[in-house]
Amino acid sequence: MFEPYAENVHGDFYVEKDCCLCCHVPVTLAPDLFRYSYDSEGCPSHCFVSQQPVSKDELERMFDVITCADLRCVRYGGSDFGIVDRLTELGQKAICDVVINSFNENDESPPPKT
Ligand code: SF4
C-alpha cells in the first residue's frame, strides 16, 4: 500500500516514496538514523532511513522525528504493538501500516482501536 524509497535500510521504519518537500526534520533530529539522497545536481531530493533504531534513545529520537515531520512520510511497517501503542499515544496511529492494513476499505466503520 505504501511504497518505501529503495534506499531505506531493511527494517520496520521507512520513508515513503514521493513524499518529500525537504522538511529537513529527520536529518536534523536524528542524523545517525537518516541520510539524504541527492539528485544529479547534488541537491537533497529526499531522506531515507539509514539505520533502524535499536537503543531506547534511538527509538525516542525516531518518535521525535515522526512527531515533528508534518508530512508523515516516515512510516512504521512493523507489528510490535508496544511501538504501535506508543505511536498511537503520540497521535501517529495513521503512520502504522498494521493499523491501516487492518482497515477494510469496504467497511464503513472506523479503523480498529489499538
Ligand atoms: S521527512 Fe519527508 S519531507 Fe522531510 S526530508 Fe524526509 S522525505 Fe523529505
10-residue block means of pLDDT along the chain (114 residues)? 95 94 94 96 95 98 95 95 96 92 58 54
What pLDDT score does 59 carry? Answer: 98
What pLDDT score does 106 carry? Answer: 44
Q: Which residues line ligand 1 (CB under 6 A)?
A: 15, 19-26, 46-47, 69, 71, 73-74
Measured from the CA of 27, which atom of ligand 1 is nearest? 5
What pLDDT score does 102 carry? Answer: 78
CA-to-CA dists, residue 14 to 52, 78, 104, angstroms:
9, 10, 23
Of all protein residues, the one whose alpha carbon is nearest to atom 3 of ligand 1 is 20
For residue 107, report the distance from its CA to the centre of ligand 1, in Å: 32
Measured from the CA of 21, which atom of ligand 1 is nearest? 3
Measured from the CA of 16, which atom of ligand 1 is nearest? 7
Measured from the CA of 5, which atom of ligand 1 is nearest? 7
- The domains of the chain, with CATH numbers, are 13-75 (3.30.70.20)
* SS3 per residue for 47-110: EEECCCCCCHHHHHHHHHHHHHCCCCCEEECCCCHHHHHHHHHCCCHHHEHHHHHCCCCCCCCC
For residue 7, report the distance from its CA to the centre of ligand 1, in Å: 13
